[in-house]
Amino acid sequence: MKTGVHIIVKGSVQGVGFRWFVEREAKKLGLNGYVKNLFSGNVEVEVEGERGLVEELVKKLKVGNRMSRVTGVQIKWLDFEDKFKGFQIRF
């Protein structure tokens, strides 16, 4: 079953390669969507794909890369809309 998810990652997640980490992991899992920095200092991720693979990415985001320090993750599950082609970093 395919699904979508909107995620806000909080903590020390800007300026530490976090967006590139998310892009790499999402592409490895074959997920589509985007990642971008927010003015608040948080990172926004929206992704679509097979539910099990999306859940796997969510687990990785809760841990982060070795330079980041994730302190919280807000998750909102969405209906699958097939609105993304590939995965990208948005600036």
Catalytic residues: 19, 37
Please state, in angstroms and rounded to a whole number, the distance separating the CA atoms of residues 86 and 33: 6
Residues 6+ apart with CB under 8 A from 54: 3, 4, 5, 31, 47, 48
